[in-house]
Amino acid sequence: MSANVTSDEVPVTGIPDNERIKRLKQHFSQEFGCEPLFFVRVPGRVNLIGEHIDYCGYPVLPMALEQDILIAAATLNKPELHVRNINNKYVNYNTEIKSCENIDIVADPNGKPFWYNYVLCGVKGALEFLGDKITNGLQLCVDGIVPPASGLSSSSALVSAACLALLYAQNVPLSKTEIASLCAKCERYIGTQGGGMDQAIAFLAEKNCAQYITWQPLKATPVALPENAAFVVAHSLAEANKAATNYYNRRVIECRLAAKIIATCAGAVTDKKIITFSQVQNKLDNTLEEMVNLVHKYLPKDIYTKEEVCDILNVNAEELEQLFFTPNTKHLTEFKLKQRALHVYEEAKRVEDFRKHCSLSASNGSGLNGVNGNGAIVSDNGDCDEIIRVLGELMSSSHESLKNLYECSHENLDRLVSLSKEMNIHSRLTGAGWGGCIIALCPKEKVAKYIDMLIDKFYVKHCNIDIIKAASYVFATTPNHGAEIYVEK
């Protein structure tokens, strides 16, 4: 197994001596009758701002969570994969892994992926990358503590951990950016056309800072968060499995169509290729504000039919489907192009503003001296509260946009956001939405009071949840580091 690891590669350290590792080791031995050879750990993430814009080519601003997927692994001397889970609600699975082509990733009869399909995504992508040249198989036992289907990226942590385990077992050194890009590709085998944010932060995260993630080439730039800012995650109690519906892919293809129409109307494309909103902006050399104006100019209608889109793009329905659609969106006939495009361009602007204000607070310590969101000067002893207020307002606008323009919120998420606002705390849905969690920006001294308020007003009074259980759905979090491998040293 690779001994010479550069700082660019996923770190390999000794196996921590803790209860969780002991329990997983024991479960592994019970299942497979041998000891694990190594462990991989990949964190979940929370996105601070920049939702549904990674697949449009725009930067996002996530941070890694403490909650993670931990996998114990051992190699097999035959090309087989044996998968177990410490939680017995997840069934065992065994299969051959002779070639990438032979790994079929098929959902259950209702279209919901089996849990092990996410493991298969990682393994299939790794096999494809290795040209099927593997020297051994794998036994894996999974222990995941990222709340599943909650917008905290349990799926990508699981896919990425499986892919990392296979690559490590084959002794293949990859840089963090290479493996993050590979894992983004892997997860598309589940059926969703994700943008790569989750896998990027899973590998590139650093302790105590969020990351500003940019694409092509993939790069993560650390963003220091204001000294007095705390981030609180609260679960809406609604789960949303993204690959079980076409909601996510529908948004992806609406963005593709809208980008193509703007590009075509503005005379920016001639070939047939898919073009993203950010590519259109670059081609036209416009600002984000100018792109918003072009959306109003070229996409004035609330709804576009498939026929109208074909007419504008001068293609027939078959060509349109072949170029832009996924299997689970081919039957769609109406699209909200203006709304999706406005969200993306405005959200991309909010990310830039958010980052700018974080750097203002970093360069000035807690005594700030810079420009606030309204262009006003923040004085030297103007405190962190002002920056937190500006950042918070950007988060609130993001939520409004996700709710009204992108239509990916949920009534429980909206309730959490408005309860927070009553305490003057800004928040937004995080991750893909349709359920899952909110992320709230809260001055440190208010955290305890804020969490108590949510427990009382949302979980206990609104959802009739027992107060002890309620406390497990809401937590304050700080940025954690990225994926790692543990081996006996």
Query: Active-site residues: which are they?
Result: 198
Q: Where are the beta strands (DSSP E) in 257-307?
A: 304-305
Q: Of 174, 153, 164, 334, which Cα lies nearest the Cα of 250?
A: 334
b or e along 321-334 (b: 16 or more beta carbons within 10 Å of the residue's beta carbon)? beebbbebbeeeee
Report the residue from 197, 253, 258, 280 that binds ligand NG1 according to the rule CB under 6 A.
197
The stretch among 106-114, 152-160, 391-399, 451-459 that binds Mg ion (CB under 5 A) is 152-160
What does the DSSP 8-state code read for residue 237? S
Report the residue from 214, 241, 264, 359 that binds ligand ADP according to the rule CB under 6 A.
241
Q: Which CB sits closer to ligand ADP, 194 or 443?
A: 194
Q: Is 236 in the site for ligand ADP (CB under 6 A)?
A: no
Give the count of residues interacting with ligand NG1 (CB under 6 A): 18
Please name the residues in contact with 333: beta carbons below 8 A apart, sequence gap of 6 or more. Answer: 305, 306
Q: Which CB sits closer to ligand NG1, 47 or 477?
A: 47
The stretch among 27-35, 112-120, 271-279, 283-291 that binds ligand ADP (CB under 6 A) is 112-120
Q: Is 137 in the site for ligand ADP (CB under 6 A)?
A: no
Alpha carbon distance 466, 87 (integer Å): 23
Please name the residues in contact with 362: beta carbons below 8 A apart, sequence gap of 6 or more. Answer: 223, 224, 226
CA distances from 94 to 138, 213, 458 (A): 10, 36, 42
Alpha carbon distance 122, 131 (integer Å): 14
163 binds, among ligand ADP, ligand NG1, Mg ion, none (CB under 5 to 8 A by kind): none
Residues 425-454 that bind ligand NG1 (CB under 6 A): 431-432
CA 103-108-109 angle, 5° bins:
125
Site mask for ligand NG1 (CB under 6 A), range 213-242, x = bound: -----------------------------x
| Element at 422 (helix H, strand E) | helix 411-422
Q: Is 142 in the site for ligand ADP (CB under 6 A)?
A: yes
Residues 2-61 that bind Mg ion (CB under 5 A): none
Q: Is 347 in the site for ligand NG1 (CB under 6 A)?
A: no
CB of 190 to Mg ion, least distance (A): 8
What's CA 48's distance to the chain center, in Å? 11
Which tokens in the block code for residue 398?
């993001």
Report the residue from 158, 220, 257, 342 that binds ligand ADP according to the rule CB under 6 A.
158
Tokens 């790794």 found at: 126
Chain positions contacting ligand ADP, by CB under 6 A: 85, 90, 113, 115, 118, 142, 144, 146, 148-155, 158, 241-243, 431, 436
Q: Please give the residue ranges that form the binding site for ligand NG1 (CB under 6 A).
A: 47, 51-52, 54-55, 151, 153, 155-156, 187, 192, 194-195, 197-198, 242, 431-432
